[in-house]
């Protein structure tokens, strides 16, 4: 059977449980038509590059599917009918990826980096800089900065 990677975007105001319900619904459609879903990844709520149907964010989900073309056609038909799904993309691949996708690897790497930052603060130890001194409340006016004689 052909192998597919299927990614869909769900509206930002849909709950995570509702996205999991959509994923389960599409999985049962695939299994009912003689295929199988080998990997499911919920990438979470992410910002969109541009607005889609007045949404600035969307829930991303990836399904690796081993199924006949009829199953993919039915999933895409169901997603076109659903108001919760903003966009969907299905790509036929020669082989499916093993392990976590690049998106999950990036998220794990970002989380590890944030954990390291948390130990030393946002910018680390800056004791070599010394004290900055008192803060000015406002920027000086031009006549205060250069003196009255230059402006006359």
Segment 52-73, tens digit of pLDDT: 999 999 999 999 999 999 999 9
For residue 94, pLDDT over 80 is answered with yes
The pTM of the whole model exceeds 0.75:
no
For residue 119, pLDDT over 90 is answered with no
For residue 2, pLDDT over 80 is answered with yes
Record: fold of 3-94? Alpha-Beta Plaits (3.30.70)
Long-range contacts, stretch 126-133, CB < 8 angstroms, 24+ apart: none
Q: For the CA atoms of 81, 7, 108, 123, what is the dihedral angle to 10 degrees? A: -70
Q: Estimate the crossing angle of helix 69-81 against helix 16-32, to 10 degrees.
A: 150
pLDDT of residue 137: 72
**What count of other Cβ atoms lies within 10 Å of the Cβ of residue 26?**
26
121 compared with 110, residue with greater pLDDT:
110
Q: For the CA atoms of 113, 118, 124, 127, what is the dihedral angle to 10 degrees? A: -170
């Amino acid at each position: 059977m052909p192998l597919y990677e299927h990614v869909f975007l769900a509206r930002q105001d849909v709950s995570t449980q509702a996205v999991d319900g959509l994923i389960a619904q599409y999985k049962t459609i695939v299994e009912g038509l003689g295929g199988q879903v080998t990997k499911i990844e919920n990438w979470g709520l992410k910002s969109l590059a541009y607005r889609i149907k007045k949404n600035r964010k969307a829930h991303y989900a990836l399904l690796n599917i081993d199924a006949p073309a009829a199953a993919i056609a039915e999933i895409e038909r169901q997603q076109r009918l659903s108001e919760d799904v903003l966009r969907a993309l299905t790509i036929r691949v020669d082989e499916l990826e093993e392990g976590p996708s690049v998106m999950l690897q990036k998220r794990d790497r970002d989380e590890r980096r944030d954990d390291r930052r948390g130990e030393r603060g946002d910018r680390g130890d800056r004791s070599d800089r010394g004290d900055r001194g008192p803060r000015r409340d406002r920027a000086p006016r031009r006549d205060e900065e250069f003196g009255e004689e230059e402006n006359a």
